[in-house]
Amino acid sequence: MKIGMSIVALGLVCGSLAPLAAEETGAEQAPADTTKFTVQYDGPPELRVLDVGDEEVISGRISGTASSTTSPVLAGATVDCPFVGRAYEGRSFSCGFTTIEDMQGMCVFTDADGDQAVADWTCSTAATMTSDARCEGKATWISGTGKYAGVTGAFKMHSELFRNKKEDGNAVWSGSMELPMMMLGLES
């Protein structure tokens, strides 16, 4: 009987922490006026894994194509994202032990005109009541060329875990993108 009560108590604690996990990892819903796009990966990432004791140091690259349901900006752009990070056994918000990934990288978005926007990002393993473990984090626009010159803004993002990516994986970005050249009507 005590074991059954402990399992129920653990479920209640884990269930009550899930909303907190979503807040801390940026998984909450974005306001309606945000830009939202999906990067559909071309395939699994190119990975290089180095075993260091009980951890793995991971470096690699993933590429794909951006699509947006809220804005034509970056729709159809190719995306190239080199990254580095580490994977280790730990406890995630799913109230169980799993492999945790702490990753960081940059993504270069290149549109059909050859103009580019560059974002840097970080993410860590998280899980919510409505999703499996995934890499949740934030991205910030850091530079751009052509119509993306002077780009600013920040995004919440989530992606499948890098070590377990499938052929048809994706990442979802949701946030703000301010383009001075477009606001002034000076886009190239």
The per-residue pLDDT for range 40-94, each reduced to its tens digit, is 888 888 899 999 999 999 999 999 999 987 778 888 999 999 999 999 987 655 5
Q: What is the pLDDT of residue 85?
A: 95
In order of start, what are the domains of the chain with their CATH numbers?
Answer: 2-183 (2.40.160)
Q: In terms of DSSP bridges, do strands 55-68 and 170-175 run parallel, antiparallel, or are they unpaired?
A: unpaired
Mean pLDDT of the chain: 77
163 pLDDT band, cuts 50/70/90, is: confident
C-alpha separations of 23 from 16, 44, 94, 170 in Å: 12, 28, 14, 22
Q: Once rounded to an integer, what is the mean pLDDT over residues 107-128?
A: 92
CA–CA separation, 26 vs 23, rounded Å? Answer: 5
CA–CA separation, 119 vs 107, rounded Å? Answer: 5
Q: In terms of DSSP bridges, do strands 35-41 and 170-175 run parallel, antiparallel, or are they unpaired?
A: antiparallel
CA–CA separation, 21 vs 92, rounded Å? Answer: 9
Q: What tokens appear for 42 in the block? A: 């071309």
The number of residues in the chain equals 188
Q: Look at the alpha carbons of 145, 30, 165, 103 in this order and tell me if their dihedral is positive or negative.
A: positive
10 Å CB burial of residue 125 (0-12, 13-18, 19+) is buried
Q: Once rounded to an integer, what is the mean pLDDT over residues 13-32?
A: 38
Q: What is the pLDDT of residue 123?
A: 93
